[in-house]
Structure 1
Amino acid sequence: MYCIKYPPITFSSKKLVMLLGCLLGCHQLMAQSTVPLTDLSAFQEPSSNWKLAAGAKADLDKDEVLTTKDGTGILVNLPGKNGAKDLYTKATYGDMDLELDYMMAKGSNSGIYLQGRYEIQLLDSWGKVNPQSGDNGGIYERWDDSKPDGQQGYDGHAPRQNASRAPGLWQHMRISFQAPRFDAQGKKISNAKVIYVWLNGVLIQDNAELAGPTRGAMDSKETTAGPLRIQGDHGAVAFRNISITSFDKAPPVLSNLKYAVYKGAAIAINDTKAKAVAEGNSTILSSNVGTLTNDFALHYTGTIKVTEAGLYTFKLSVPGGNGSLRIGGIDAIASANNRGEGKIQLQPGNLAFDLIYSKTIVWAKPALGLTVSGPGIREYLLTDANVSNNDPVDPILINATSNTILRSFSDLPGGIRVTHGVNVGSAEQVHYTYDLDKGMIVQIWRGGFLDATPMWHDRGDGSSRVAGSVQYLGKPVPGIEKLANAQASWAADTAGTGYRPKGYVLNANDQPTFRYIIYGSMVNDASTVIDGGHGIHREITLQNPADGLFAHLATGSNIEDAGNGLYIVDDKSYYIKIEDAAGAKPILRDAGGKQELIIPIKGKLTYSIIF
């Protein structure tokens, strides 16, 4: 592969660059701070409804019930009947990213007000199919009291889909916010913007512009900064792992850019005999200079002005070739093959900027891309935004408007590929993947059904992707196993069990019952959606069951027995509810550094996965 060769340099070990192999566009948080929840010192005069706890638990059946365990680490709002107030941070923020976990009580209502003025709604919206702006993850409406009833609300932003979890489960939210902009005279020149909201792994808000404060704002005056405010007068809610990244520093600026385009072989920068086929000055980094589309080397030089000392991350995209980046004579990215990333410690000043893009693969589209992020500086694009290295491909989405079945490969965490997966979708927007090799459900999710683009676009690879908020159920293992005793280890596969899949049959509603033989017993495994879209109900029946058979119900970092057949799995990620086990008692045991929930099975077992 052709490249441009620099003359050798030397520098101290303190200036070595750490290179990372992440894709361009992965978000790297800078200057992130965690809100300490060892006390309430980060907040302004907290009222008595706010407290700290070491644990929190909601009741699935009772409204507004949230019980706590003494200690610290979790922020809890218990509004009660009188005197509940909102909670404000002492610090104020402009552009910011916020990341946190939260837990809703059944029927509860809360909200996060960015700058105290723009509300991201928190609500028990569990199971709702068509969420509105007032549902969980929605951007609440603005309000005009002068309008007739039913018309006062406007400019709300509903979440793209409902990714909400059940009461009592931890939910994870990431918010990226851009404050409004003002000119020197204080006139607003740009609206506030919610760049994104991710809820439980799903993008639910994307570049939502906010023309003004939402209903219930602390005031109607927009400013460059304001406190984070959490609603406290509506319902019981708990928070943990609150981290804030503030972006309030001036970004690096490029100037004095010059480019030279060379055709052909590797070129040394200090080679005075090298002849450029195109050269000139530029106001922006772009690959749209010259006329060559392949077998070229593009060299940019210039100055980058740095105003903040600290560690900076550069991400370089050089499709169809390789590239490199130097700042102040030091490698920021020594070598990028299509993509590359590097970190470099920079001091304030005007530093030499040197970038190379050498393209050698004919079918790739030339498209130079470079981003930078740093201390208090949100990642942004330094190159021409009009140049894209992607040929847009419309996603091939499959919506389950009725009970739907699709075979595909499914990829799970840890590099696990389920090669005999059956994806089962429902109009209630609760779906699951069944592994025909193991006789078990390996993942459940709510929201969108499947993205079949990896399978059906171009040649494809046979796999589909979950299009909603997924809950993985651990490493696939046989759903039923024969154990010598209740503490015997669970096998990783079905070798030696006589396992034979027998496909599935559909009922009148097109819902499958999976059938297989294991240890000489015929197993019928039927799953249906719980009323209200609250999870999956499973009914497993065995014909002529062998002795010593157990069913595998759950694996997690921890499993908590909540009583009456209810178990909370994997740091409150989902519930298992045992309904009918023909008198058998579940066994909660340690296994390989985790916990397992298993149960003896003879003729029939019914239980639910609630999430």
Structure 2
Amino acid sequence: MIGFLYACGAGLMLAQPAAAQSGKWPLTDLSAFRQPGGTWQIAGDVAARLGKPNTLETAKGTGVLVNQPGKKQHGQDLYSNVEHGDIDLELDYMMAAGSNSGIYFQGRYELQLFDSWGNPAPRAADNGGIYERWDDSRPEGQQGYQGYAPRQNASKAPGLWQHLKVSFQAPRFDASGKKVENARIIRAELNGVVIHENVELQGSTRGANGNEAPTGPLRIQGDHGAVAFRNINITEYPGARPTLTGLNYTVYKAANARELDPATAKAEAKGTAPTLTANAGPFTHGYQLRYTGKLNVEKAGDYNVGVYAQGGGASLTINGKQIAGYGGNGRGKATLPAGSSDVEIIYGREGDWGAPTLGLYIAGNGLREIQFGDAITPDNTDPILLEADQTTILRSFMDAPGREKITHAVSVGSPEKVHYTYDLDNGMLVQAWRGGFLETTPMWHERGNGTARPIGTLQRFGQTAFTLNRLADAGAAWSADSAGTSFRPKGYVLDEKDRPTFRYQAFGSNVSDAIRILPDGSGFTRDLEVTAPAADLFAKLAEGAQIEQVEKDLYVVDGKSFYLRITDAGGAKPVVRTSGNKQELIVPVRGKLSYSILF
């Protein structure tokens, strides 16, 4: 991608703005920016201190865009050297403690970036919020309106990388320049959590540049606080919206719609249709519906096309070539010429089960997926959500990518909205998350499969392994074999607040493992007590692509995904070591071991 971002003063417009281009921005220098302010720079790495407001520390190199406004130099916003319409934007960003920034789509619609770590009730001005619009003529206290808070606080701590994905749809205008459709945030996902879906933006948010238009620059707020970005990817959708026209339908009675032969079957009804639907004709079931029409695209090229159906089956043929065979949801690739292509769509409904639904979709070659036809009826199963207004414990199966299903998982929820899963088979802390507790629909709906799902910003802690192991030396491999461990789970006991302390036996020692949520919701502490530990017993506290020691006893783990602070190692010295393609933080066990994880 070339020239994705540039900086300029408020209100500066390009006479001939360039079109946006899809791809990853290399972040090798500032040449992509117009008049970049002195607070913006390119760095090789960046770090923040938890207790040091509005400050980022940088390392030489490329790949990271950093802004550090301060008392000596006031920051200014950064604008793209290109203008965009419909785009998908994906990037990582890091906030300094107490920092404030934002991303303005088309320079007009702000998605807020803010240090909202630990805030249990986020508002529109918090991290991930869609900032409010503003009208000075409104009554005092009501000037701000139409702001949208994120569904939940999915924020991470200052100094940790956060991942943002946004699908933005630009406003639409007719030939006279009149707006006929508002802009939308189709979907926004922060740190793996959906925070917005199908939000209509009825006008520019506060601080926007100029009136609404079909295109505009991407703008990053630069005058409020220290912030960094990396891995900026943009997917542009510049293609004109395709059309499905000239639809004619024929309806046949059919006990077996899949095998009906239209050459010999009697047509029961014919007509034209303004749109694709499974409900044309006089029948409610036992029929086949055949459509012919024209699919019109602006640009020749390869497209992903298909049909979807409920309450029956469907097939799709384009220019005489079958793209999707008869079934519920078929898709394939089609090379289409510019202009019109002949389409034939068949829908069959034999029984009276399900809602009759038919549609066609097309994507690719500069198009975001577009659907024609009936709206898909969602699954009517209400999700079964388990909240944690007090300490809540649930045993279940738990899926974990890259490993087998955890069959003896215990998930513990807290009113501080920080929760975790513990693996009884390994004495291992599997994962922790902030937000809602669990969705148990797969576990309790109908027969169920015993699986629960975390709701919220999820932080996993590596592959399945015993927390404790005996090593000949600090460089020996961490064995996953249970032979010789004498591992025996002993369940857990509850304290006066119903918080569990897990117990097990391993390597001839009794082990108690107490995990406690910090009162401010910033993370949790873990206290391991081991009776008469062997001299060569070690604990593995963390693993990840990279582990860096940033202060005495403080580490940042797995490419700045979470912090780990050792509070009591009994005088033992922690070791960061390389194991295959990852690093591990291990420490000799002297009887008691305490640490905290912040994320």
Q: TM-score, normalised by structure 1?
A: 0.89
1:21 matched residue in structure 2: none
Cα distance change on mapping 1:360 and 1:585 into 2, 3 Å? farther
1:78 matched residue in structure 2: 68
Cα distance change on mapping 1:215 and 1:514 into 2, 3 Å? same
Deviation at 1:610, TM superposition (A): 1.4
Cα distance change on mapping 1:149 and 1:259 into 2, 3 Å? closer
AA aligned to 2:212 is E
Distance in 2, matches of 1:390 and 1:325, equals 23
Do the aligned partners of 2:68 and 2:226 also contact (CA within 8 Å) in 1?
yes
Instruction: Determine if the alignment matches structure 1 residue 224 to structure 2 residue 240.
Output: no
Do the aligned partners of 2:257 and 2:350 also contact (CA within 8 Å) in 1?
no
Cα distance change on mapping 1:336 and 1:575 into 2, 3 Å? farther
1:104 matched residue in structure 2: 95
Residue 583 of structure 2 is aligned with which of 595, 600, 604?
Answer: 595
Instruction: Determine if the alignment matches structure 1 residue 440 to structure 2 residue 428.
Output: yes
| SS class of match (2:150) | coil
Number of aligned residue pairs: 578
Give CA-to-partner distance per residue, 1:447-476, whole Å, 9 cap, x none. Answer: 111111111222221111111111111222
Distance in 2, matches of 1:444 and 1:427, equals 14
Residue 543 of structure 1 is aligned with which of 512, 525, 531?
Answer: 531
AA aligned to 1:374 is G
Give CA-to-partner distance per residue, 1:369-411, whole Å, 9 cap, x none. Answer: 33211233221211222xx344422212122112211121111
1:382 matched residue in structure 2: 372
Distance in 2, matches of 1:359 and 1:209, equals 36
Deviation at 1:198, TM superposition (A): 0.8
Do the aligned partners of 2:310 and 2:356 also contact (CA within 8 Å) in 1?
yes
Distance in 2, matches of 1:36 and 1:306, equals 32
1:215 matched residue in structure 2: 206
Which residues of 2 match residues 519-598 of structure 1 at below 5 A?
Answer: 519-598=507-586
2:171 matched residue in structure 1: 180
Cα distance change on mapping 1:125 and 1:315 into 2, 3 Å? farther
Distance in 2, matches of 1:331 and 1:495, equals 57
Cα distance change on mapping 1:455 and 1:557 into 2, 3 Å? same
1:273 matched residue in structure 2: 264
AA aligned to 1:299 is R
Distance in 2, matches of 1:584 and 1:66, equals 31
Residue 486 of structure 2 is aligned with which of 488, 493, 498?
Answer: 498
Do the aligned partners of 2:509 and 2:530 also contact (CA within 8 Å) in 1?
yes
Cα distance change on mapping 1:321 and 1:269 into 2, 3 Å? closer
2:12 matched residue in structure 1: none
Give CA-to-partner distance per residue, 1:557-599, whole Å, 9 cap, x none. Answer: 2222223122222221112211111111222222232222211
Instruction: Determine if the alignment matches structure 1 residue 394 to structure 2 residue 382.
Output: yes
AA aligned to 1:328 is N
1:57 matched residue in structure 2: 47
Structure with the greater relative contact order (CA < 8 A, sep ≥ 6): 1 or 2? 1
Distance in 1, matches of 2:584 and 2:334, equals 45
| SS class of match (2:126) | coil
Residue 195 of structure 1 is aligned with which of 186, 192, 213?
Answer: 186
Distance in 1, matches of 2:349 and 2:487, equals 53
Distance in 1, matches of 2:40 and 2:555, equals 28
AA aligned to 1:68 is T
Which residues of 2 match residues 231-310 of structure 1 at below 5 A?
Answer: 231-262=221-252, 263-265=254-256, 272-276=263-267, 278-290=269-281, 297-310=288-301
| SS class of match (1:382) | strand
Cα distance change on mapping 1:178 and 1:266 into 2, 3 Å? closer
Cα distance change on mapping 1:374 and 1:69 into 2, 3 Å? same
2:37 matched residue in structure 1: 47
Which residues of 2 match residues 159-174 of structure 1 at below 5 A?
Answer: 159-174=150-165
Distance in 2, matches of 1:318 and 1:148, equals 51
Distance in 1, matches of 2:464 and 2:433, equals 16
Deviates more, 1:317-326 or 1:120-129: 317-326
1:124 matched residue in structure 2: 115
Cα distance change on mapping 1:416 and 1:294 into 2, 3 Å? farther
Deviation at 1:149, TM superposition (A): 4.9
AA aligned to 1:64 is N
Deviation at 1:39, TM superposition (A): 2.3
Deviation at 1:96, TM superposition (A): 2.1
Residue 56 of structure 2 is aligned with which of 66, 73, 79?
Answer: 66
AA aligned to 2:532 is N
Deviation at 1:239, TM superposition (A): 0.5
Cα distance change on mapping 1:560 and 1:295 into 2, 3 Å? farther
2:81 matched residue in structure 1: 90
AA aligned to 2:143 is Q
2:13 matched residue in structure 1: none
Instruction: Determine if the alignment matches structure 1 residue 340 to structure 2 residue 330.
Output: yes
Deviation at 1:336, TM superposition (A): 6.4
Cα distance change on mapping 1:346 and 1:414 into 2, 3 Å? farther
Distance in 1, matches of 2:99 and 2:258, equals 65
Cα distance change on mapping 1:445 and 1:270 into 2, 3 Å? same
RMSD: 2.4
1:7 matched residue in structure 2: none
1:352 matched residue in structure 2: 342
Cα distance change on mapping 1:357 and 1:593 into 2, 3 Å? farther
Give CA-to-partner distance per residue, 1:477-503, whole Å, 9 cap, x none. Answer: 111112222222222253442211111
Distance in 1, matches of 2:321 and 2:94, equals 47
Distance in 2, matches of 1:315 and 1:439, equals 48
Deviation at 1:261, TM superposition (A): 4.5
Cα distance change on mapping 1:261 and 1:571 into 2, 3 Å? farther
Do the aligned partners of 1:111 and 1:231 also contact (CA within 8 Å) in 2?
yes
Distance in 1, matches of 2:22 and 2:418, equals 35
Distance in 2, matches of 1:223 and 1:536, equals 48
Instruction: Determine if the alignment matches structure 1 residue 607 to structure 2 residue 598.
Output: no
Cα distance change on mapping 1:279 and 1:160 into 2, 3 Å? same
Distance in 2, matches of 1:514 and 1:332, equals 56
Deviation at 1:59, TM superposition (A): 1.0
Residue 504 of structure 2 is aligned with which of 516, 523, 533?
Answer: 516
| SS class of match (2:442) | helix
| SS class of match (2:443) | helix
AA aligned to 1:240 is R
Do the aligned partners of 1:254 and 1:303 also contact (CA within 8 Å) in 2?
yes
Cα distance change on mapping 1:517 and 1:320 into 2, 3 Å? farther
Distance in 1, matches of 2:312 and 2:336, equals 27
Do the aligned partners of 1:287 and 1:367 also contact (CA within 8 Å) in 2?
yes
Distance in 2, matches of 1:45 and 1:91, equals 14
1:17 matched residue in structure 2: none
Distance in 1, matches of 2:590 and 2:377, equals 58
Deviation at 1:301, TM superposition (A): 2.3
Do the aligned partners of 1:35 and 1:42 also contact (CA within 8 Å) in 2?
no
1:34 matched residue in structure 2: 24
| SS class of match (1:448) | coil
Cα distance change on mapping 1:148 and 1:437 into 2, 3 Å? same
**Identity over aligned residues, as a percent?**
54
Distance in 2, matches of 1:408 and 1:598, equals 29
Deviates more, 1:290-299 or 1:572-581: 290-299
AA aligned to 2:124 is S
Do the aligned partners of 1:77 and 1:237 also contact (CA within 8 Å) in 2?
yes
Deviates more, 1:589-598 or 1:503-512: 589-598
Distance in 1, matches of 2:37 and 2:27, equals 16
Deviation at 1:355, TM superposition (A): 2.6
Q: TM-score, normalised by structure 2?
A: 0.91
